[in-house]
Copies of this chain bind each other. A is one copy, B any other.
Amino acid sequence: MIDQIFNAATEAFLQYKNVPANLKADFLDKIAEILEANRSIIVPVAVKESNLPEGRINGEMGRTTGQIKLFANMVREGSWLEATIDPGDPHRSPMPKADIRKMLTPMGPVVVFGASNFPLAFSTAGGDTISALAAGCPVIYKGHPAHPETSRLVAECIHKAVISSNLPEGVFIHVEGGIEIGQALVQHPLAKAVAFTGSHTGGKALFDLANKREEPIPVYAEMGSVNPVFTFPSKLQNELVPLAQAYVGSLTMGSGQFCTNPGLIFVPSSHATAFEAAMAQEIKDIAGSPMLHPGIAKAYYESIEYYQTREELKWIKVADPKHLINGSPALAEIKAADWLADDVFQKEVFGAFALMVVYDSPNELMQAAKKLHGQLTITMWGDVPELKQNAALINILEEKCGRLLFQGVPTGVEVGYAMQHGGPYPSTTDSRSTSVGAGAIKRFARPIAFQDMHPDLLPDALKNENPMKIVRQVNGKYTVEKI
């Protein structure tokens, strides 16, 4: 069966990669249109399967179709292809100069694994699938067992878009099954790349499998992180209560089931008592909402139980596991010296649990920064003079994350051109990539150069006339002019 899937996807690829950009873009828009038309059918099923509230799922549908439209526009616009032209010079001495033209080309069939915490935006028609399709790659999508019916409904929408766009059916193939099926997909010789959003264990296992193949392939696994928040005295002095509120709000939203959930906050000892009190006040009545499925709730409470055995922690709020499906928030305090002594305190707890780390000196904070594992995001709450004083700390923290925030909270990842949702290992397996925003498309493409290719054979992006009117680099200069 898996051979059939990949043969169909590969055959589709050889056709799909040559489909003109505007038709590819129309196909993507068609997916969004059909999804939107089926909103009232899909949303209740996703709500039921994910335990997420209807408002949230409705919002996620908007995010999903919104990012599809972003990629459709990018495909039409075409500059993501990085078209680069070094015209030839037959008169160059001592050797004539060849005409060389380079652009990105899609890699081939991509295996995508969706995430349980975003049944729409990071799943079947989510960012990974759509950015791969936008790049020109067929997708073999492994449905997430936590929302099987949602995945089938969305897959059916994509399938309809494939048919109505006259594309080969192998452009998108929906597969259901367990871990063994997922492994077999990644190991198939015709798979050319893998995208995954989920746990460290899952992502790392796929990464290792892909590297042991006869032909290793890229794995873009976004595996989450603890997204530390660094706070500084002067800023806390002025904004202590709103910051504590913002922090607790970001931590507990959606029962903390976000890759960018801020599970770690560094607070100076000068303000620890006041900040702790403000957070306690804010968090005390938050019961938490139902988690995605019982397995996730169980893992959450097991982590909390483990931390309860650690004497270094002082509890600000203990989880109330009365209704076990609810992700009751929990908050504990630890001294920086204790935090520094054991890497277990850097482990992500998927859910609304946070450690407040109390630091005594800038030196202790610097040690913590140096010891920090790779993160999707790091947030710095300081006023401008104290941030300037901490330039050396910022310099270190840049090496530890993909996105550095100076206001607001890390949850709520904007979909745009400048977003970076990725970071150094172990937050992802490939810090060169983003899984949110325009940059995501480039994960599924590689450069190819054509040397002395006849104009009739050149792809549109590289023709002298620049029929796509895209920004290109010609002799090293950016231009939309024809040659």
* A-to-B contact residues, CB < 8 Å: 14, 17-18, 73, 77, 79, 84-86, 95, 97-98, 100-102, 105, 107-108, 207-208, 211, 215-216, 218, 374, 384, 387-388, 394-396, 398-399, 401-408, 412, 414, 416-420, 422, 424-426, 429-432, 434, 438-439, 445-454, 456-457, 471, 473, 475-476, 478
19 A-B residue contacts at CB 8 Å? A14-B395, A84-B417, A86-B416, A101-B418, A102-B417, A207-B216, A215-B424, A388-B457, A402-B448, A403-B450, A406-B452, A406-B453, A406-B454, A417-B475, A418-B449, A420-B447, A432-B446, A432-B447, A434-B447
Contact of A408 among B102, B216, B416, B451 (CB under 8 A): B451
Q: How far is the CA of A170 from the CA of B66 in the complex (A)?
A: 47
Chain B residues contacting A412 (CB-CB under 8 Å) are 95
Max chain B Cβ within 10 angstroms of own Cβ: one of A84, A107, A394, A434: A84
Flag if A418 contacts B452 (CB, 8 Å).
Answer: no
Q: A107-B431, A446-B432, A447-B432 are in contact. Are A452 and B387 (CB under 8 A)?
A: no
Given A14-B395, A414-B100, also A404-B84 (CB < 8 A)? no
A388 to B452, CA, bound (A): 15
Complexed CA–CA distance, A111 and B97 (Å): 33
Is B449 within 8 A of A404, CB to CB? yes
Let me know if B211 and A418 touch, CB within 8 A: no
Asked if A100 and B419 sit within 8 Å, CB to CB, the answer is yes
Q: Is the CB of A417 within 8 A of B98?
A: no
- Complex CA gap A216/B211 in Å reads 11
Within 8 Å CB of A454, what residues of B?
Answer: 384, 387, 406
- Nearest CB in chain B to that of A96: its residue: B408
Q: How far is the CA of A473 from the CA of B471 in the complex (A)?
A: 11
Contact: A405 with B14, CB < 8 Å? no
CA distance A153 to B134 in the complex (A): 49
- Please give, as numbers and ranges, the residues of chain B lying within 8 Å of A424 by CB-CB distance: 215, 446
Q: A403-B450, A404-B450, A406-B450 are in contact. List 4 more A-B contacts (CB 8 A).
A: A84-B417, A100-B419, A102-B419, A402-B449
Contacts of A97 in B (CB 8 A): 414
* Closest CB in chain B relative to A248 CB, distance in Å: 18
Measured CB to CB, the closest approach of chain B to A431, in angstroms, equals 4
